[in-house]
A and B are shown apart, each in its own frame.
Chain A
Amino acid sequence: METSKAVIQTNNIDIVKTEVKKSKVKLSIILTHIIIIAVGIIMLYPLLWMVSSSFKDNLDIFKGTSFFPKEIIFDNYIKGWNGISGYTFATFFKNSLFICTMAIIGNVISCSMAAYAFSRLDFAFKKVLFAIMLITLMLPFHVTVIPQYIMFNKLEWINTFLPLTLPKFLATEGFFIFLMVQFMRTIPLELEEAAKMDGCGPIRIYWKLILPLSLPALITTMIFTFIWTWNDFFSQLLYLSDIKLHTVAVGLRMFVDSMGESSWGSLFAMSTVSLIPLFAVFIFFQKYLIEGITAGGVKG
């Protein structure tokens, strides 16, 4: 009795206090909104300026005072898309998309297979191998890139897509294995037991049960693979020096070198175009993206 009285009393005090504070709280909420919006605009301004500039002529970019173009022109896009040395950005986009597609297929297949073994099967040296997998997550790739380059060179794979696509089929990106292991562990064992009763072996369980149920983790894998592969510059620069194999990232860099600093307009236009696929993925799959980012940090 005594304690409940005390609780009621403090509750009453709280109510009085909140009445007084309400206007103060409201003001602080509005202020927070203003701060967040202001900082957000500052942060996005460079990107917005880039997009706006891509529709301006060069004079307007550097001398104009308005954020918006005086008149919207598409010359920069037409000129930029023509690319360099007879290869248009269509070629670069095709190459980037091909590498991304292969990387996505490779990662989904190979990482899900490894994750299935680690999360649902029992085998010798499981703990040791899992620990090794986690350690490879932390390794800087520079310790392997030099021998890999030498090896791919001996195989005569330089200036082919193989050094960029084949490793994905060998589950080299441990982050995705980890992500899928986390997810597959949450699938109830009863489902698997039921499937076993029906005479399903591990291969059918993987294919018919675990894989479909892991779809959210697979989508997250696809999206991150896409973003990372699209943004990857180091290995594309390393392995693709032939211009007809250039990706968007490498092509864009070559484009600047050949155009010089004078044609910022078409450079901005092509930069904008190069970011559209990323932005589209972000808009449509934001939920999976956020889940992927937080999976490592919060659940892990």
Chain B
Amino acid sequence: MQTFKKAWRRNAVAYMFLSPWLIGLLGLSLIPMVTSLYLSFTNYDMFTSPVWTGMENYTQMFEDSKYLASIKVTTIYVMLSVPLQLMFALGVALLLNRGLRGLKFYRAVYYVPSLFGGSVAVALLWRQLFGGEGLINRGLALFGIEGTNWISSPDTALYTLVILAVWQFGAPMVIFLAGLKQVPLELYEAARIDGAGKFKQFFKITLPMISPIVLFNLIMQIIHAFQAFTPAYIVSGGEGGPLDSTLFYTLYLYQKAFTHFDMGYAAAMAWILLIAIAIITAIIFGTSKKWVFYQE
């Protein structure tokens, strides 16, 4: 009886500490998730009651050219920006990790774009940089090259946003740097004695030793890239243009939900996004057994 009372009290105290989180979990995560799953099978405009339409939203998507465009745009964006960003991050981290003086200063300088990158201010700056009379074209003019308006051309607009994402390689770089510092120096000494060159050292020691960090960065950046919104919204003025070339998935979702009030369709889009991210994460985790090296 005594122990039962004690256990009950112990649990009561713990759940008291957890209560704000539990209320949030229930009220702001779980119930909304179930609701959005339900809404995704309905037609709902917020003014009249939801009407059950079964799978209609999900089948309709694949005939919606704008939806398909948003998938294409987002896929290109993720597939280009994430690998490039991680390559820059690792490359610069390797350069910085050579015991240079001023490491902390350099690290700070390279981190600044990550600090500001998500802001409206930087997205606006980007619009100017790559505009017709922007800084980039004025730079190109010095070399006698006449640039176009990169932002208003459907062939190039998306790539300006890829550059904006790659520009923010500072955050994964900081993580790589911390990981590189933990690689034991003895390994390199041993390799040097065995006559292994710089490239061999990188592929046989550095890369395997930091592979868990590569995995972490890869997954975090992919999740992050799939959800990019602010740059596309600001650079295209909320439209996703020109010709839907910057219509990110989340931007189209936003338009559907909060400009057209097509809540059911938008909820279905959100669930497809969730499933896509879950599958991609699962695939990466699945293959990681083959390329991620865990120290015992």
A contacts, CB < 8 Å to B: 10, 29, 32-33, 35-36, 39-40, 43-44, 46-47, 49-50, 62, 109-111, 113-114, 116-118, 121-124, 126, 129, 132-133, 136, 138-151, 153, 167, 169-172, 177, 201-203, 206, 227, 230-231, 233-234, 237-238, 248-250, 252-253, 256-257, 264, 267-268, 270-272, 274-275, 278-279, 282, 286, 289-290, 293-294, 296-298, 300
Contacts and interface: CB of A to CB of B under 8 A. Distances in A.
A37 to B, nearest CB: 8
Contact of A122 (B10, B18, B229, B263): B10
A139 B29 contact: yes
A159 to B, nearest CB: 14
A50 B113 CA distance: 13
A252 B39 CA distance: 34
A114 B17 CA distance: 6
Contact of B92 (A36, A113, A233, A271): A36
A264 B39 contact: no
A231 B228 CA distance: 13
B26 to A, nearest CB: 9
A150 B46 contact: yes
Interface stretch (B51-59, B63-71, B171-179, B287-295): B171-179
Contacts of B95: 32, 35-36
B174 A290 contact: yes
Contact of A143 (B33, B109, B115, B121): B33
Given A143-B36, A271-B122, 6 more contacts: A47-B116, A50-B125, A117-B15, A121-B14, A122-B14, A143-B273
A53 to B, nearest CB: 9
Nearest to B258: A238
Contact of B226 (A140, A143, A171): A140
Interface of B: 10-11, 13-15, 17-18, 20-21, 23-25, 27-29, 31-33, 35-36, 39, 46, 92, 95-96, 98, 100, 102, 106-113, 115-116, 118-122, 124-126, 128-129, 133, 135, 167, 171, 174-175, 178-179, 182, 193, 213, 216-217, 220, 223, 226-227, 229-230, 233-234, 237, 250, 253-254, 257-258, 263, 266-267, 269-271, 273-274, 277, 281
Nearest to A141: B227
A278 B213 contact: no
A117 B17 contact: yes
A171 B24 contact: yes
B166 to A, nearest CB: 10
Given A10-B193, A46-B135, A253-B120, A146 B267 contact: yes
B270 A142 contact: yes
A271 B120 CA distance: 8
B125 A117 contact: no
Contacts of B277: 138, 140
Given A114-B21, A123-B15, A40 B109 contact: yes
Contacts of A230: 119
B254 A234 contact: yes
Contact of B32 (A109, A110, A129, A151): A151
A271 B125 contact: yes
Contacts of B227: 140-142
Top-8 shortest CB links A-B = A170-B24, A123-B14, A271-B121, A147-B32, A147-B35, A171-B21, A114-B21, A297-B175
Q: Taking chain A's interface residues, is the majority helix, strand, or loop, or is none over half, making it mixed?
A: helix
Contacts of B263: 146, 150
A141 B254 CA distance: 12
Contacts of B216: 296-297, 300
A267 B123 CA distance: 12
A237 B46 CA distance: 19
A42 B240 CA distance: 28
A171 B273 CA distance: 24
A171 to B, nearest CB: 4
18 contacts: A39-B92, A43-B112, A43-B113, A44-B112, A46-B126, A140-B277, A144-B32, A147-B267, A148-B32, A202-B17, A206-B17, A234-B229, A272-B121, A290-B107, A290-B174, A296-B216, A297-B179, A297-B213
A132 to B, nearest CB: 7
B270 A140 contact: yes
A192 to B, nearest CB: 14
A4 to B, nearest CB: 16
Given A46-B125, A143-B33, A278 B116 contact: yes
Contacts of B226: 140
B10 A121 contact: yes
Contacts of A122: 10, 14
A246 B111 CA distance: 28
Given A49-B135, A202-B13, A233-B230, A113 B20 contact: yes
